[in-house]
Chain A
Amino acid sequence: MGKVLMKGNEAIGEAAIRAGCLNYFAYPITPQSEVAEYLSRRMPEAGGVFLQGESEVAVSYMIFGAAACGERVFTTSSSPGVSLMSEGISYISAAECPAVFINIMRGGPGLGGILPSQADYFQSVKGGGHGDYHLLVMAPAGVQEAVEMVMSAFPLAEKYRNPVMILGDGLIGQMMEPVEFPDHLKSEPSDKNAWATNGIASRKGGQRNLVKSLYLDPEELNAHNMKLRDKYERMAEDEVRYEAYNADGDFEVLIVSYGTMSRVCRTAVDELKSQGFEAALIRPQTLFPFPGVPIKEAAARPGCRGVISVEMSMGQIVEDVERAVAGIKPVHWYGKCGGEVPTPEEIVEVVRNLK
């Protein structure tokens, strides 16, 4: 299949089907409702399950029930909806079930607005629900990358038996770009009989499976949390993904930015270069695990005077950048969070004027 022109939200829905996920539960919310609208037609055609739940809270538990049977399942929502799903996400993480959640972020807090934002970084990366857990969080910078991340999310969720979050800003959902659905990203579900509640009859030996998150014994709960921690460390070892741009030669300033915002920063890097000013860009593709090591190495380069995080939020990812840079160079922040995307001109100006 060649390239087709698709809206991000529709491409995300199609990517899940192409990845072999035929179960989708969701609740409408702007700016991602087109995923549900698209799949309400497409899922029955593909022989899959589409169900509109009564709330995001309920949807997160429909996902839990289906995921605990070992079936591939996913949902999409936007910021306020993801807050409601965060309860279920905590339980699913605790019970170690694979599932995929997609957040097409809008402005917050509260109802905020319906325009693009990146203000759910903390919620996604630091845990929006209660308890010590992490999601594997990927952030696409375009529709094609969103498709590829959705398709790779299912085997990753199964590999770690952990929810995967695709964190896209509203622009990723709303813009149209040419996309193709790569065959090499199709995958078969992994073996689930050791843990899934898919009926005793489905496994030899007749053992029964239990999916739960309650550990009343303090030693048992601590051991469970240590096991989860080991898993997050394995992710940090094996799953960090990032893209570096104009970072091979000497540069004065290192920009860190993800998602749609990083594309604007890339344009700014080109513009700066034409003015004779060298800036490098590191774009985290995974937000958890965070590419702290390459950011630190780039910041440590002799010519680099400082680092700036450019984000559509009021200073969230900048905290992880500071942690990575660990004081070796000054770290700055620039951002907007009302729905406007900072322009290349603004970024050029800010970068040139960094102290």
Chain B
Amino acid sequence: MGVAFKKPEALSDRHTHYCPGCTHGVIHRLIAEVIDELEIRERTVGIAPVGCAVMAYNYFNTDFQEAAHGRAPAMATGIKRVRPDLMVFTYQGDGDLASIGMGEIIHAANRGEKYTAIFVNNAVYGMTGGQMAPTTMPDQRTTTSPFGRNTTDVGMPMRMVELLGQLTTPAYVTRQSVLKPKHIIKAKKAIKKAFTYQLENRCFTFVEVVSTCPTNWGMTPVDAIKWAEQTMLPYYQLGDVKVPEDN
């Protein structure tokens, strides 16, 4: 009998430090499957963010760099410019990418840096303990918005995919999620498409993944998925916002 299902070679044997019900594990696996399928593991460099995924380098079996908060797009730029033959992906959360790293991501996208950005949006700062992020939903309670996000005071949540999608430089910009199996299947296809565009040296590639954070949301994993579907998905609509033109 052949092997029907196995751990991707691009994942290590380490147990993760992620909380029960966290979706980082699913997203890690999707990336690792794509790396295996494209046979690029030995020339891939991942870039870990600051945030819950800072130790992502323990779980991937590829070369890895660890960035400062928000700076992963600049590091990816540095690698791709001097070693365009390497495959580079960044893995950033919403506090990291949409707040402190806003300048770096917009300019990397606008220059058309040919790497793959995986943007995990769970509407909250995770590692630092559940503070408000630029992506926190209206009225969502966090440790720094204890009465709920007041949008007249701090504005509406930022939609990174729409923001990057309106740049004129060719790019692949898409929003996916891993809330339900059907979403996971689509997210995998999008991640594979992004890595393939990079492999073909086509364009900047950006995959947002709407995710959950049961711990910091104070919910069970099941309730967290329901809340994300009901509250986040109507605002963070799924699908491609931009594809390279000759696609």
Contacts and interface: CB of A to CB of B under 8 A. Distances in A.
B78 A66 contact: yes
Contacts of B43: 199-201
B45 A64 contact: no
Contacts of A95: 66
B66 A49 contact: no
B74 A66 contact: no
A150 interface: no
Contacts of B48: 212
Interface residues of B, number: 33
A198 to B, nearest CB: 7
Interface in B81-114: 81-83, 86, 103-104, 107
A332 to B, nearest CB: 41
B78 A200 contact: no
A264 B171 CA distance: 56
Contacts of B62: 200, 208
Contacts of A210: 57, 63-66
Interface in A31-85: 49, 51, 53-55, 57-69, 71, 73
A62 B78 CA distance: 4
Contact of B74 (A53, A200, A201): A53
Nearest to A65: B78
A54 B107 contact: yes
A23 interface: yes
B32 interface: no
A208 B81 contact: no
Nearest to A73: B82
Contact of B71 (A57, A199, A206, A211): A57
Contacts, number: 125
B177 interface: no
A69 B45 contact: yes
B42 A211 contact: no
A154 interface: no
A23 B84 CA distance: 13
Contacts of A232: none
B103 A66 contact: no
Contact of A65 (B44, B61, B79, B103): B79
A213 B69 CA distance: 12
Given A58-B103, A65-B74, A210-B57, A197 B82 contact: no
Contacts of B75: 61-62, 64-65, 68
Interface string A186-213: 0000000000011111000010111111
A245 B53 CA distance: 56
A91 interface: yes
Given A208-B64, A210-B63, 16 more contacts: A58-B103, A61-B104, A62-B75, A64-B65, A64-B75, A65-B47, A65-B79, A66-B79, A69-B45, A69-B78, A69-B86, A73-B82, A199-B83, A200-B62, A212-B65, A214-B55
Interface of B: 41-45, 47-48, 54-55, 57, 61-68, 71, 73-79, 81-83, 86, 103-104, 107
Interface of A: 23, 25, 49, 51, 53-55, 57-69, 71, 73, 87-88, 91, 95, 197-201, 206, 208-214
13 contacts: A51-B77, A55-B103, A61-B68, A61-B75, A62-B77, A65-B75, A69-B45, A69-B83, A210-B63, A210-B66, A211-B64, A211-B66, A212-B65
